[in-house]
Amino acid sequence: MELYQSTIHELHDKIKEGKTTATEITKAVLQRIDTVEGKVHSYIRVMKDEALAAAAATDKEITKGNIKLLSGIPIALKDIVCTKGITTTCGSYILHNFVPPYDATVVEKLRAAGAIFVGKANMDEFAMGSSTETSYFGPTRNPWDLECIPGGSSGGSAAAVAADECVASIGSDTGGSIRQPAALCGIVGMKPTYGRVSRFGLIAFASSLDQIGPFTKDVEDCAIMMNVLAGYDPKESTSVNVEVPDYRQFVGRDIKGWKVGIPKEYFVEGIDPEVKAAIEEAIKTMEKCGAKSVEISLPHTQYCLAVYYIIAPAEASSNLARYDGVKYGFRAPAAELLDMYKKTRMQGFGAEVKRRIMIGTYALSAGYYDAYYKKASQVRALIKRDFEEAFKKCDVILTPTTPTPAFKIGEKTDNPLQMYLSDIFTISANLAGIPGISVLCGFTKIGLPVGAQFLAGHFQEGKLIQVASVFEKEAQSEKRRPKL
Amino acid sequence: MKLTAQEVEYVAHLARLEITPQEKEKFTAQLNDILLYIDKLNELDTKGVEPMSHAIGVTNAFREDKVAASIGTETTLANAPDARGEFFRVPKVIE
């Protein structure tokens, strides 16, 4: 096996045993990027020089015996997290020249843990999309089938891990933007509890939903990343001061006697038969592991998408008001101020971003607030209550991550509503603020990955690591890789 | 139709977006589709349900009011499309 194909824990062991170095690993990954990036386009920017310099510095520390959790591990960052001195575009022309004056807290934490940043990953513009096709910098392709989308919005981060262009990566998830691309690219992706990971330095999309999380090659790596990322941050007032357990201790712990809830509302029309079959197989696998499956009901499931498409655009319209061409980013020349705002935003934003700003502005405008935002926030409370009731009857919930496998590039770009439907199984977790993880659970006949999603109660990421690691061991006997 | 082309133009103005006639036509159709879908929520009786504003139920998060270092004028202005001295420069606002 090549170095660039390895997991965090495998590389960590090799470094500890003196069998490899940070520089050797980083060079292997950069070489891999050179080989496949032309096909996949995971990155907006590859940080070659920075990565090699960081690797050399890390090797000096390693020879002194100073080996940290992520020492020498090449990691990609979604281009939505601010990196001091390194352009951060959020996939948008309006920020194509924005150089942040500070690092996001997750960037600081990863660097402190020894991580080597190899690049800024491609994404849907302002994280608005489910396919990475709305990026100003062009689409990312699915490593399993280059004609297909990798999912989104964190499609670049997911594709980079699946194509071995990094060992792990960071994404953000507002309605499924980590779990959905993880599923479509056949890797592990976790959206932590709202407030579990600091969002300081994350460019805001919908503030009551956004959460940062990791993409990894296996569940143990996910636990390692969560050990680095999780925790309270005084700079981020929505981060929650709840003790962070050692997530790694949950890896492989048995789940005998656990109740796995299967929500009946998730197996209705529109779900691809191959996805349905893979999840039914996953349920059997859980039972083989000693868990019991129980049918549960999340009665407001059918309203999740409608709630999301009021709340997320409403918050986005407010968050994106800051892009006015005054303080940073692109400015269109104009003789008058109002004109400058309008032209800057017209030329700076892409169609999907404009569409969502428009929906959000409309929903929040005078006379419509009660009918839309308030109504949606009330239904959101009912959705959250559904989960509270469900978790009285089960330890975790198992669902498909997505209704279909990866679709073709261009297939849904002209039909926003169709595109939105690809997040139908992931949105509820953001609305309720609960954590979720997607793991590979099988392949379709033509070889596209299918993901299984596990959900748990607030701050129960440990349970997700536990169940997903047991499932992964039982379900994935053969290790398939995309052929690139 | 929930939204006329004229209303779309007004919403674009509120959002400080200039839109082309083609965009106006496309957005009117697409926004109507989306709003029609969202209408689904009216099937539910939500009388007396407290709107949810925070997933975890955290209320105000206060910190000590204490002076700390800031990033400074030079760094702040470094990304400005147009700056002069200690200020962001914009087209004339007052006649």
Q: Pick from A300, A359, A431 the residue to mutate for testing the B interface (most B CBs within 10 Å).
A: A359
Read off the pLDDT of residues B37-67 as tens digits, 9 standing for 90 and up: 999 999 999 999 999 988 887 778 888 899 9
Same domain membership, residue A322 and residue A177: no
What is the pLDDT at residue B64? Answer: 87
Same domain, A36 and A139: yes
Average pLDDT, chain A: 96
Helix (H) or strand (E) holding A436: strand A436-443
Judge whether residue A477 has pLDDT over 70. Answer: no
Residue A389: inside a domain: no
The type of residue at A241 is N
A307 shares a domain with A184: no
d(C-alpha A381, C-alpha A166), whole Å: 39
Cα maximum dimension of chain A: 70
Among residues A436, A450, A480, A471, the alpha carbon closest in space to that of A171 is found at A436
Total of domains in chain A: 2
- From the CB of residue A146, how many other CB atoms can be counted at a distance below 10 Å? 14
Residues A114 and A248 occupy one common structural domain: yes
CATH code matching the domain that covers B5-41, chosen among 3.40.50, 2.30.30, 1.10.3720, 1.10.20: 1.10.20
Same domain (yes/no): A234, A342 = no
CB contact under 8 A, B23 and A351: yes
CATH code: domain of residue A193: 3.90.1300.10
Q: Tell me the CA distances in angstroms from A276 to A272, A401, A447, B10, one per residue in order.
A: 6, 11, 16, 45
Q: Is residue A353 part of a domain?
A: yes
Is residue A437 in some structural domain?
Answer: no
pLDDT at position B53 is 83
Q: Is A19 exposed, middle or buried (CB count within 10 Å of its CB: 0-12, 13-18, 19+)?
A: exposed
Task: Count CB atoms within 10 A of the CB of residue A270.
Answer: 8
CA distance B32 to chain A (A): 10
A242 and A326, same domain (yes or no) = no
User: Looking at the domain assignment, is residue A397 inside a domain?
Assistant: no
A330 to chain B nearest CA, in Å? 7
CB contact under 8 A, B41 and A432: no
**Domain membership flag for residue A154:** yes
This complex has an ipTM of: 0.95
Do A191 and A314 reside in the same domain of the chain? no
Residues A246 and A345 in one domain: no
Give the one of A234, A365, A417 whose C-beta lies nearest to B33's C-beta: A417
pLDDT in tens, A150-162: 999 999 999 999 9
Contacts of A339 in chain B (CB under 8 A): 91
Q: Does a structural domain hold residue A422?
A: no
Banded model confidence at residue B1, pLDDT cuts 50, 70, 90? confident
Q: Is residue A411 part of a domain?
A: no
Rounded distance, CA A3 to CA A20, Å? 9
Question: Has residue A138 been placed in a domain?
Answer: yes
Per residue in A439-475, pLDDT (tens digit) is: 999 999 999 999 999 999 999 999 999 999 999 999 9
Measure B88 CA to nearest chain A CA, in Å: 7
A73: nearest Cα among A108, A123, A29? A29
Which of A87, A347, A358, A430 has the highest number of chain B CBs within 10 A, making it the mutation to test binding with B? A358
- The tens digit of pLDDT for each residue in A92-124 reads 999 999 999 999 999 999 999 999 999 999 999
Residue A177 annotated as catalytic: yes
Domain that holds residue A318: 302-377
- Residue range A217-273, pLDDT digits in tens: 999 999 999 999 999 999 999 999 999 999 999 999 999 999 999 999 998 777 999
Q: How many percent of chain A have pLDDT more than 90? A: 95
A79 plus A152 within the same structural domain = yes
Query: Does B65 contact chain A (CB < 8 Å)?
Result: no
Q: How many alpha carbons fall within 13 Å on the CB side of residue A107?
A: 23
Q: Which residues contact A206 (CB under 8 A, 6 or more apart)?
A: A174, A311, A312, A313, A315, A316, A319
- End of a domain among A377, A408, A442? A377
Catalytic residue, from A92, A169, A177, A428: name it. A177
